[in-house]
Amino acid sequence: MIGIVVVSHSHALATAAVGLAAEMVAEDNRPVIAVAAGLDEKTFGTDAMAVSEAIAAADSPDGVLVLLDLGSAVLSAELALEFVDPEVAGRVKLSSAPLVEGLVAAVVTASTGASLDAVVAEANRGLVAKQDHLGDSVETAAEAGPTDQVIEVVVGNEHGLHARPAARVVALVNSFDAVVTLTDLDTGRGPVDAGSLSMVATLNAQRGHRLEVGAGGPQAAEALAAINQLAAENFGDAPVSEPVVAASGSGLDVAIGPAVVVDAEVDLTGYTPGDAAAEHRRLENALGKASAELIHLRGTSPDHSGIFDAHLALVKDRTPLEAVSSAIQGGSPAIDAWKQTYDQLAATFEGLDDAYQRERAQDVRSVRDRVLRALTGALSNDTPPAGGILVVAELDAATAATIDASKTAGIAVRAAGTTGHGVIVARSRGIPLITGIGDVDVPNGATVAFDARTGSFEVEPDEDSVRTTITQRQAEREEALNQAAQPAITRDGQLIEVLVNVGSVQDAIDARGADGSGLVRTEVLFQDHAPTVDEQVERFRAIAAALQGKPITIRTWDIGGDKPLPFLPQDHEANPFLGERGIRVFRRRPELLRDQLQAIRHVATETPVHVMFPMVTTADEVAWALQELGPRPEGLQVGIMVEVPAAALRIDTITEGLDFVSIGTNDLTQYTTAADRTNTSVAALADGLDPAVLRLIDHVVRNAGVRVAVCGDLASDPQSAVLLAALGVHELSAVGPQVPLVKARLRQADLSEVDTAEVLAARDAAQVRGLL
């Protein structure tokens, strides 16, 4: 591999450029890059002696490429060649390539083992991508040889074929004895030489674009196979919509293990502060570590990327950072400066009038503790020890989304409430979970067990008895899984359809025994960019195929409230849950919705598809939605979500022109009880089994005049599912891991034995549970 020398007037410039370029290539693959820049770290200038030493350091039998900035850098580099061994000087090439772009291209190309001449050529083309982008292109595309084999791949990366994945393509291509070209079939650009970083970058292939890959030469077939594989792996980037952390929990409702008590306070004793400079450095390191953790979390749980983006923004927020910095300057240890500033910030959020803003205090505290842990060297609690039961005061979605479900025995939440985001996420991942254990004293490491079905939580339990229960439940679950594909017919002969809620193609692939999908969350499927009609068609098609062509119910964009879409910015609202949510968002700007409906109409001609509109309140909205949908292909059924109490109460006058309604029990519950499920102090009020909610469901079933489904969280709880079926709901859509269990329980149930009148007359949710 050739060596590279960077000559610059500025030490800072050279080391930063090297850092930028080094990012492109894994460390073990990187060429030697030596720097000769500045007379010292602060003084601009070049030193021919230093350049000759750098050349000696980077020298290799394959040669040395020297990249330089201007003026004396050129003169010093030339002079340096007079100082080095003539044999070495003979294999040194001084390049006129632009320093930053040339260096990036050179490092990438060199890492593939390319010859000095090839690297020089690539460095010289360093400006092509930028010139092309800015429309002042002067160079023509590098000539690639003839190709005789062709495949087609799709760019699945979140940000398209940007620099790093492009670098992976180049490295791969150059490892074969083949000429490979890329053509972007969606833009018509190309063919370009796939062995050239600048050329691949010029393609600017975006996510979803189809690439034609051509190859010729002795190893053409091998190169194509390797590229096909790389494309299937999103060119080495973390995939976006398909969560990496797909590992799911046991799916049981009972668990035992050592308690992992997550203290609210990070232990700050034992921190020995240094001088201001040292504390600044420590803080820098801690911020870097915290950012890296958050970026990692964002990458591994894209469904919750918004949470981590918000946390990242807090880590980098200039105003509090300045306060921290000046406190450190004034002699405060970094931990105190950081804690006090972020405590204050959290207090400021808590003092705001806006409830939504008040909740951000939780984010501030989470970021505060993450950085404090980094400062004190405490372990990140993103990964609790294997086999433990996590005991937390409240369960935030970030924790629920990111803990390793296959290594966590269960989660016990002190706060009550079963509809919070964290609870929903944990349940959808099959992690055993109990809520509302209260202030029980739990020593860290003590064996604890819980059974969510009976609502028991025990410290130092009778382990044998718990293990017996677990064995029984496992057998029950295995039986349920074995029977998953069988229909759920109750003992009294009622067929209940049990479907699955999906937010990704992977969800549909993972689903076992689902009779279709009762809820396709489109806003989760496409999170980062506004998809084209074709992209949507493709994704819907993939979901239907994963469910063997069983019916899927696509919900149109459900955004607003706590679910912002980055590509459809919304005005700030004081009360977003009562603001522009769901269908309301599109009354003023229907374009995105129209695209989606076009995609849905298209897929409906190929496979059974239903469509439903979220957050409908009035009959006017239904009429508008039907009008936007327009003439529909045969078999495309139309429905609405019933989440707003007003819609539930006037169900008989709102369903004109509809084929079905689907009750979203989570929102219906929080709107009915006027209790925010994410606010721990009132979350217990937002109980889906509250008789008030059940009465609304009963009212809808009796008066809708159309098919009634439930796709809220209530349908995922086997006991509640039996009650819903008894109330007359014939279609339940549950989270993936619960589908077999819901089906199994329904098969054991005799709906005629459920006294629905007594349930509806109960005084509260607790009494309803007692009756089930």
Partner 1 sequence: MGVENFVDWLRDAARTLHDNAAYLTELDSAIGDADHGANMDRGFAAIVALLDESTFDSVDELMKKAGMTLVSKVGGASGPLYGTFFLRFGTALAGAELTPATIGEAFKAGVGGILARGKPELGDKTMYDAWAPALEAYDAAVSGGSGLKEALEAAAEAAAKGRDATVPLVARKGRASYLGERSAGHQDPGATSTTLLLESAARTLA
List residues binding partner 1 (CB under 8 A).
Answer: 9, 39, 43-50, 70-72, 75-76, 78-79
Per-residue tokens: 710? 């439930």
Residue from 513, 454, 496, 514 nearest 751 by CA: 496
Three-class secondary structure of residue 124 per DSSP? helix
How many C-beta atoms lie closer than 10 Å to residue 758's C-beta? Answer: 11
Residue 408: left if φ>0, alpha if ψ -120 to 50, beta else—which one?
beta
Instruction: Identify the active-site residue in 9, 311, 421, 610.
Output: 421
Residue from 181, 184, 176 nearest 192 by CA: 181
Q: Residue type for 255, please?
A: A
CB of 77 to partner 1, least distance (A): 9
CB of 78 to partner 1, least distance (A): 7
d(CA 369, CA 393): 15
Q: Which CB sits closer to partner 1, 71 or 331?
A: 71
CB of 104 to partner 1, least distance (A): 25
Q: Which CB sits closer to partner 1, 38 or 410?
A: 38
DSSP 567: T
Q: Is 770 exposed, middle or buried (0-12, 13-18, 19+ CB in 10 A)?
A: exposed
Q: Which CB sits closer to partner 1, 77 or 544?
A: 77
The structure tokens 């879409």 sit at: 565
Q: Residue type for 104, please?
A: V
DSSP string, 464-511: HHHHHHHHHHHHHHHHHHHTTTS-EE-TTS-EEEEEEEESSHHHHHH-
CB of 38 to partner 1, least distance (A): 8
Q: Which CB sits closer to partner 1, 48 or 701?
A: 48
CB of 22 to partner 1, least distance (A): 26
Query: Would residue 711 show up in a list of annotated catalytic residues for this protein?
Result: yes
SS3 per-residue string spanning 192-214: EECCCHHHHHHHCCCCCCEEEEE
Three-class secondary structure of residue 149 per DSSP? strand
Q: Which CB sits closer to partner 1, 50 or 364?
A: 50
CB of 80 to partner 1, least distance (A): 9
Q: Which residues contact 221 (CB under 8 A, 6 or more apart)?
A: 149, 215
Give the CA radius of gyration of the chain: 30
CB of 92 to partner 1, least distance (A): 16
Angle (nearest 5°) at CA 677 between 674 and 679: 95
Q: Which CB sits closer to partner 1, 76 or 556?
A: 76
Whether 367 and 324 have beta carbons less than 8 Å apart is answered as no
- Cis before 333? omega within 30: no
CB of 61 to partner 1, least distance (A): 28
Q: Which CB sits closer to partner 1, 74 or 151?
A: 74
d(CA 604, CA 266): 54
Q: Which CB sits closer to partner 1, 46 or 157?
A: 46
Q: How far is CA 303 from CA 160, 402, 516, in A?
A: 19, 10, 22
Instruction: Identify the active-site residue in 9, 304, 610, 711.
Output: 711
Per-residue tokens: 30? 């990187």
Angle (nearest 5°) at CA 380 between 376 and 382: 165
Whether 108 and 24 have beta carbons less than 8 Å apart is answered as yes
DSSP 385: P
Q: Which CB sits closer to partner 1, 50 or 215?
A: 50
CB of 67 to partner 1, least distance (A): 18
Positions marked active-site: 421, 711
